């Protein structure tokens, strides 16, 4: 399986609920966005009780050999771009940012560091929501994944990957 075919199967799992765009910028080969807005009201829509916005921004990267330096660059770039899209307000719940890296091979120090990358931001003591960073790295040669704490939910995408 090549990196490109692996990316296509991952993007296929996102296309149902996310707005997927390929080749958005030079750093990432694809991005996906999800936006959810819910309102609760009493009797009429003008008597709003609550309003909740939830967003997710997913960045996809393909690498031949993933080094520690490149992993840090990708993480910082995805985090910065994702935070630039966040608009916190009283009804904002969360805006999560995810990075999915598919590599032909992964250096040991990059695999070790992937578990340690933790990025989190709260807005006005979390009254205006928060942002957290999910990361998963998939090594095609060894068919292994490494992920941070928030990225553990992304494992299911690669567990169904064909050989």
Q: How many domains does the chain have?
A: 1
Query: CB of 62 within 8 A of CB of 8?
Result: no
Q: Could you give the CA distance from residue 80 to residue 2 in angstroms, rounded to a whole number?
A: 29
The per-residue pLDDT string of the chain (163 residues; one tens digit each, 9 = 90 and over) reads: 788 999 999 999 999 999 999 977 778 999 999 999 888 888 888 888 888 999 999 999 999 999 999 999 999 999 999 999 999 888 889 999 999 999 999 999 999 999 999 999 998 888 899 999 999 999 999 989 999 999 999 988 888 766 5
pTM as predicted: 0.91
What is d(CA 137, CA 151) in angstroms, rounded to the nearest whole number?
Answer: 9
Domain range for 50 is: 3-159
């Amino acid at each position: 399986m090549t990196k490109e075919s692996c990316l296509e199967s991952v993007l296929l799992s996102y296309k149902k609920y996310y707005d997927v765009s390929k080749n958005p910028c030079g750093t990432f080969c694809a991005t996906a966005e999800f936006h959810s807005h819910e309102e609760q009201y009493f009797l009429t829509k003008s008597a709003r009780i609550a309003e909740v916005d939830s967003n997710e921004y997913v960045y996809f990267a393909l690498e031949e050999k993933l080094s520690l330096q490149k992993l840090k660059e990708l993480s910082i770039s995805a985090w910065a771009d994702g935070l630039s899209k966040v608009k916190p307000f009283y009804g904002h719940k969360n805006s999560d940012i995810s990075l999915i890296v598919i590599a032909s091979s992964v250096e040991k120090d990059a695999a070790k560091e992937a578990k340690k990358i933790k990025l989190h931001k709260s807005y006005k003591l979390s009254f205006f929501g928060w942002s957290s960073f999910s990361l998963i790295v998939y090594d095609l040669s060894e068919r292994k994944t490494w992920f941070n704490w928030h990225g553990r939910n992304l494992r299911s995408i690669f567990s169904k990957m064909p050989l």
